[in-house]
Structure 1
């Protein structure tokens, strides 16, 4: 009887990480909300400076989030958002050092490097942590 209990216990332990991972799968909107948790939205901006931008993150079929210092700029594209994939490479062609709401961003497959489409950017909404009082 002991071997059966040991086998069942081992199977339960092995299945736990898979069940936990499946349970924690967030929708794109939930993922964005979690990323912005504790932050307050500011006035939308037409452009952001890329010289101070450290990174970008794609939220599937939803938005591109640009990190600049402690500020997260959320851009919900005017068109093409349904093509956003968090595994794509973003290719941006600029004149100058600013990314603006009139610009487009090409999407390229990370593995095969082929062109997958593009998005037309919208306004950049800054999200900052509230100042401590």
Structure 2
């Protein structure tokens, strides 16, 4: 009987340890909602300035996000379900080197082994700005 009690205690401890980790897993939409919280969508743009060399953030199955100051630009792509943050974006720009445009070619490579994993087709970038700022 004591052995059963020990097993039950161990199982309860594992459950308590595992619960917070699973509770922290958020969907892509939830992560995006947190990033744009308190902001209002502006007029979609076909190109954005990326001269500050800030990284693009890939949100699994949801969007590509670029931050510039107080503005968060969101590109949901034509097939957001193919977005995977384990992939690295490889961008071939056709215009100015400091702008990212919807017509630029974006392919993906596996972060760990470098194999080609697909293409991303950008759509317009929607700027989200804090209310009351220009």
Query: Where on the TM-score scale, by shorter chain, does this alignment land: which range?
Result: 0.7 to 0.9
Q: How far does the alpha carbon of each residue in 1:52-94 deviate from its partner, in whole angstroms, 9 at most, with x for none? A: 351211111221001112211000112x422210111111011
Spell out the pairing of 1:19-98 with structure 2 (5 A cutoff). 19-78=19-78, 80-95=79-94, 96-98=97-99
Classify 1:128/1:53 alpha carbon distance in 2 versus 1 (closer, same or farther; 3 Å). Answer: farther
TM-score under structure 1 normalisation?
0.82
Aligned to 2:107: 106
Determine helix, strand or coil for the equivalent of 1:44: coil
Deviates more, 1:4-13 or 1:41-50: 4-13
TM-score by length of 2: 0.82
Mapped partners of 2:9, 2:70: distance in 1 = 45
Mean Cα displacement is larger for which, 9-18 or 45-54? 9-18
How many residues matched? 131
Structure 1 gaps, min length 5: none
CA RMSD of aligned residues (A): 2.4
Quote the offset at 1:17 in angstroms: 3.4
Quote the offset at 1:10 in angstroms: 6.8
